[in-house]
Amino acid sequence: MERSNSKGPDLKFWARFSSYKYTVLALSMVFLFFAMPFLEEREGEDFVPFLLLMVMAAVLWTLRLPRWLLTLCLVPGFLGFGFHLLIHTTGVSEAVSRVFVMAEMGVYILFYGICLFVFLHRIFSDTMVTMDSIQGGIAIYFLSGLLWAFFYQMLLLFNSNAILFSDDVQGGLSDIIYFSFVTMTTLGYGDITPVSRMAKNLALLEAVWGQTYLAVLVARLVGLHLSSSGRFD
């Protein structure tokens, strides 16, 4: 009996901690947004994949996927991390390095695409409004901006002139993420501008997705709240 009592507080702690999984995911992404520019300004780009790995771990911990789907997500996640290590630890030629970067962006797109689909299915399958569902909706919004940033990064690998950067913008991954969220929120500051047709189409799709997602999410949350409170006629 004493043994079970000694483990009781630990179980309660982990149960309570698990209830904040969406909060942990949101905080990890906010940390990514603040830490990445800091590292890029101080030539610490080699640590950026570790930040992405942290976010991927938070995503997988939040989703609690079945084994087969977890494996499907882990494979591209670790491949992307491995490609980055190969680029920066081996003396490969510029052409080979370019191929590795393309592969890295491709597997990141695959990883976040699968996770985003699972998130959408779970959030819109909820039958009542909870703090978890609200935080999950915010997490989907963050993941959408990150996913589109990898699309833009991939596009720049094929066409370096697809997106125009102002003189004060260096064009690092943090700048691409910034451009992605500015586009999704339709702010359009003008310091980073899509130039090629593909870049314009991607920006258009992201802007439409961002506004449509928010409208549908808010409408669904309000509808579920009214339905659960019995305010529908």
Average pLDDT over residues 7-32: 67
CA gap 3, 174 in Å, rounded: 49
Lowest-confidence region among 24-38, 125-139, 152-166, 210-224: 125-139
Cβ-Cβ contacts under 8 Å for 224 (sequence gap 6 or more): 126, 127, 128, 129
CA gap 73, 117 in Å, rounded: 12
Query: Could you tell me which of 83, 107, 109 has the C-alpha nearest to residue 96?
Result: 83
For 22-229, the fitting CATH number among 1.10.357.20, 1.10.287.70, 1.10.10.10, 3.40.50.10440 is 1.10.287.70
Say what the pTM is.
Answer: 0.82
* Chain Cα centroid distance, residue 7: 35
- pLDDT value, residue 181: 94
Q: Give the pLDDT confidence of 91-145 residue by residue, as tens digits.
A: 667 777 788 788 888 888 888 888 888 888 877 777 777 777 777 788 888 889 9
| Banded model confidence at residue 1, pLDDT cuts 50, 70, 90 | very low
